A and B are shown apart, each in its own frame.
Chain A
Amino acid sequence: MTSPASVSETDRRALLRAYREKGDVAARDRLIESFIPVVRSIAYRYAGRGEQIDDLEQVASVGLIKAIERFDLDRDVELMTYVFPTVVGELKRHFRDRGWSVTVPRRLKELHYRLSRLIEELTATLGRSPTIAELAEEAGVEEEEVVEALEVGRAYASRSLTRSLDSDDGVGAELIDLIDDEERGYEAAENRELLASGLKALDDRERRIVHLRFVEGLTQSQIAVEIGISQMHVSRLIRRALEKLSEEIDRP
């Protein structure tokens, strides 16, 4: 990992220029790498608001990519001063886009957030997913409240992680692109599955998660580790993918 201090503004501009003018993807990757500690630092500022830090880092990374794609090399502005507000903007938009789609009591929202963390922690500690009773004990609430809080979590509107980044940015990239490149190869190998009825209705990310869960047979926890998001987020994405799959099959 390149430390941000070890890469000067001049170096960064040179890397960006190599990427822009020669299509040097390795240069872009080095540039991105040089900003990772900064991005993480910004993401941490938004921790404790009910989102997993891994998810926040991913969102912040989207902001970084956008900044790198948009930055005007002809302007007399330091790249760092452009990256910072763009990453912050992306995180703010993330929180704005993710709202509760129905009115949910604050107590249950807070419990849902706590449970999301506890599920991760207990899964790691126990080596298996926790029971409702274990979650209740750890959270200091009744089992019924855990069931209720997990259910209201379904009302949590999940921002599509596969939506294109701002349509006016000309990037055409999606969040999936940030975490999915190494896995692209699976698509060709599993073409048979992709051609199956309904799967074509899914976008890349949903298809990948469906592939991991229903073809490779990975558990939600394993998928969460594989793609670096929380288990509850995996659950939401699987549910949404199955809904789309189901709707597509219903289509005449």
Chain B
Amino acid sequence: MDEASRNAVSITLPVEGFVNVARLVTAGFGSQLALGFEAIDDLQLAIELALRSVPARDGYASVELLSDDAELTVTVTGSDRKALDRRFPDSDDGLDLLSCLGRLVDSVDIVGDDAPAVVLRKKRETAEVVPGG
């Protein structure tokens, strides 16, 4: 991977009252990548939802944004895998938070046991949505 094409930002923040910081960082990151307004807004919504869903470790969670030529990856890490699984049940029945997240980005994975995380991926080619397209 060409390092010049990679961008990474990582922040650790209190989950309560600092979600707007994550939003600002996301908007700045999206701006650097020339994402469209809607793509940035969707990404912000997904990160907010993930931050509200990941059980915080001592009140804190981390957000890592990573981009390369192909995609943008956001990892929101907290604690307590079991609580996270309860929050995002693996179910095909009805509309749940996981399926909402899935509409905001291209893929969602719940990974890790000791430091469980919600991993959101958005392909660069789908980051710009053409209205009506």
Residues of A within 8 A of B103 (CB): 213-214, 217
Residues 20-57 of chain B: 1 if any A CB is under 8 Å from the residue's CB, otherwise 0? 10011001101100111111111001001100110000
Residues of A within 8 A of B45 (CB): 235, 238-239, 242
Q: Residue of B at shortest CB range from A115?
A: B37
Q: How far is the CB of A143 from chain B (nearest CB, A)?
A: 5
Partner of B132, one of A193, A220, A222, A231: A222
In the bound complex, CA of A242 to CA of B96 (Å): 10
Partner of A197, one of B28, B37, B94, B131: B94
Residues 111-133 of chain B: 1 if any A CB is under 8 Å from the residue's CB, otherwise 0? 00000000000000000111111
In the bound complex, CA of A151 to CA of B27 (Å): 9
How would you classify the secondary structure of chain B's contact residues: helix, strand, loop or mixed?
A: helix
Which interface residue of A127, A129, A135, A143 has the most chain B CB atoms within 10 A? A129
A221 beta carbon closer than 8 Å to chain B: yes
In the bound complex, CA of A222 to CA of B129 (Å): 11
In the bound complex, CA of A217 to CA of B53 (Å): 22
Q: Residue of A at shortest CB range from B24?
A: A151
From residue 209 to 224 of chain A, which have CB atoms closer than 8 A to chain B? 210, 213-215, 217, 219-222
Residues of A within 8 A of B97 (CB): 198, 245-246, 249
A130 beta carbon closer than 8 Å to chain B: yes
Q: A219-B129, A239-B48 are in contact. Are A199 and B23 (CB under 8 A)?
A: no
Interface residues on B, range: 35 or more
Residues of B within 8 A of A243 (CB): 52
Q: How far is the CB of A26 from chain B (nearest CB, A)?
A: 33
Q: Report yes or no: B31 in contact with A133, Cβ–Cβ below 8 A.
A: yes
Residues of B within 8 A of A154 (CB): 20, 23
Residues of B within 8 A of A175 (CB): none
Residues of A within 8 A of B28 (CB): 144, 147
B82 beta carbon closer than 8 Å to chain A: no
B8 beta carbon closer than 8 Å to chain A: no
Q: Report yes or no: B131 in contact with A193, Cβ–Cβ below 8 A.
A: no
In the bound complex, CA of A243 to CA of B131 (Å): 25
Residues of A within 8 A of B23 (CB): 151, 154
Q: A147-B24, A147-B28, A192-B94 are in contact. Are A128 and B52 (CB under 8 A)?
A: no
Q: Report yes or no: A197 in contact with B96, Cβ–Cβ below 8 A.
A: yes
Residues 122-143 of chain A: 1 if any B CB is under 8 Å from the residue's CB, otherwise 0? 0100011111110100000001
Partner of B131, one of A143, A222, A239: A222
3 closest A-B pairs by beta carbon, nearest first, are A196-B94, A221-B131, A132-B31
Of the A-B pairs whose beta carbons lie under 8 Å apart in the complex, a sample of 20, sorted by A's number, is A123-B37, A123-B131, A128-B36, A131-B36, A131-B37, A132-B34, A147-B24, A147-B28, A151-B24, A154-B23, A192-B93, A195-B94, A196-B95, A214-B103, A220-B42, A222-B131, A222-B132, A239-B45, A242-B45, A242-B49
